[in-house]
């Protein structure tokens, strides 16, 4: 990327802008100043690497801030208001620790600045064990949010019903810093995730709750295998075959509705080809 160069015009003492000052008849009095050309610092290049354990709290805060407004979180934790973000951050700390032990947690970094996170766990690791469930309960209790338990249970049951029968890598959570969304960082994270799926020849699987996310994942070679409202919020269940794409494997139980798509007719495509062309 070329360095960003910004032109700064000096302001005159009476507030007339530097560029207009000569026209105001001041040339004789003031020293003629050439516009200063200043090279603004550029961001360090984006790197995708494993998250350092010490960065788990920062990653959890990023996920919480970026995901608090997702439609399903808003529905499940209705009424939490400003308490939702810290509550989610606590839960993500616990989740990321487990995911780091069992799978991959990828960090998108510009120098030392964390700008995105994506996690994936290998086959057999997607359902939390009893200890994890109890830990989540205590996080809810600490956050005085136990009243959401019935909705959380319905949410998790609905998602579990769609889990593919076949061995799969379960993806998520994933998010990019709110201020940096729409700049290609999520696509770079997805590319790194897809590379790992291809290396392990693994099926990728995820759940999501916005049509914009469905479009993004489609570009990575995921296809919608089911769609079902969870607590009234549309959810899409997506799978990706390694090297993209063969027939998706069925869900553990028959989904309540068949797959449909927010952009009908869009075909899954090769991750790399599409990501490359989006650059």
Ligand X SMILES: CC(C)(COP(=O)(O)OP(=O)(O)OC[C@H]1O[C@@H](n2cnc3c(N)ncnc32)[C@H](O)[C@@H]1OP(=O)(O)O)[C@@H](O)C(=O)NCCC(=O)NCCS
Q: Which residues bind ligand X (CB under 6 A)?
A: 66-67, 70, 172, 174-176, 181-187, 208, 210, 212-213, 215-216
The tokens describing 95, both together, are 């989740």
Closer to ligand X by CB, 16 or 216: give it.
216
Burial 169-187 (b: 16+ CB within 10 A, else e): bbbbbbbbbeebeeeebbb
Q: How far is the CB of 217 from ligand X (least distance, A)?
A: 8
Q: How far is the CB of 163 from ligand X (least distance, A)?
A: 16
From the list 163, 67, 60, the residue with the least C-alpha distance to 121 is 163
Bridging pattern class, strands 203-208 and 168-176? parallel
Closer to ligand X by CB, 71 or 128: give it.
71
Closer to ligand X by CB, 21 or 237: give it.
237
Q: How far is the CB of 235 from ligand X (least distance, A)?
A: 10
Burial 230-256 (b: 16+ CB within 10 A, else e): beebbbbbbbbbbebbeebbebeeebe
CB closest to ligand X, residue no = 186
Helix ranges, 124-180 (H): 130-142, 149-162
Q: How far is the CB of 5 from ligand X (least distance, A)?
A: 24
Contact between 106 and 48 (Cβ < 8 Å):
yes
Closer to ligand X by CB, 21 or 108: give it.
108
Q: How far is the CB of 49 from ligand X (least distance, A)?
A: 17
Closer to ligand X by CB, 16 or 156: give it.
156
From the list 133, 55, 57, the residue with the least C-alpha distance to 89 is 57
Q: How far is the CB of 14 from ligand X (least distance, A)?
A: 43
* CA pair distance 227, 260, nearest whole angstrom: 6
Helix ranges, the chain (H): 56-67, 71-76, 84-102, 130-142, 149-162, 185-199, 211-219, 271-278
Is 227 strand, coil or helix? strand
Q: How far is the CB of 36 from ligand X (least distance, A)?
A: 33
Count how many residues are written for the chain.
279
Closer to ligand X by CB, 98 or 219: give it.
219
Closer to ligand X by CB, 136 or 175: give it.
175
């Amino acid at each position: 990327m070329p360095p960003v160069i910004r032109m700064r015009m000096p302001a005159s003492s009476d507030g007339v802008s530097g560029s207009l000052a000569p026209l105001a008849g001041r040339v004789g009095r003031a020293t003629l100043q050439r516009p200063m050309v200043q090279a603004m610092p550029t961001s360090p290049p984006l790197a995708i690497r494993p998250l350092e354990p010490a960065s788990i709290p920062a990653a959890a805060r990023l996920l919480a801030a970026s995901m608090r407004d997702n439609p399903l979180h808003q529905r499940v934790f209705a009424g939490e208001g400003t308490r939702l973000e810290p509550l989610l951050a606590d839960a993500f700390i616990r989740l990321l620790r487990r995911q780091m032990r069992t799978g991959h947690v990828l960090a998108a970094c510009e120098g030392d600045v964390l700008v995105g996170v994506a996690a994936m766990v290998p086959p057999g690791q997607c359902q939390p064990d009893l200890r994890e469930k109890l830990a989540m309960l205590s996080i809810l209790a600490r956050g005085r949010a136990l009243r959401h338990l019935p909705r959380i249970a319905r949410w998790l049951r609905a998602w579990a019903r769609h889990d593919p029968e076949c061995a799969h890598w379960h993806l998520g959570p994933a998010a990019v810093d709110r201020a940096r969304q729409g700049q290609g960082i999520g696509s770079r994270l997805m590319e790194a995730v897809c590379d790992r799926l291809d290396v392990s020849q693994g099926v990728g699987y995820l759940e999501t709750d916005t049509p914009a996310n469905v479009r993004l994942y489609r570009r990575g070679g995921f296809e919608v295998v089911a769609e079902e409202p969870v607590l009234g919020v549309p959810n899409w269940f997506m799978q990706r075959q390694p090297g993209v794409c063969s027939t998706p494997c069925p869900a553990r139980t028959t989904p309540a509705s068949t797959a449909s798509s927010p952009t009908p007719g869009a075909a899954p495509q090769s991750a790399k080809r599409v990501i490359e062309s989006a650059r």
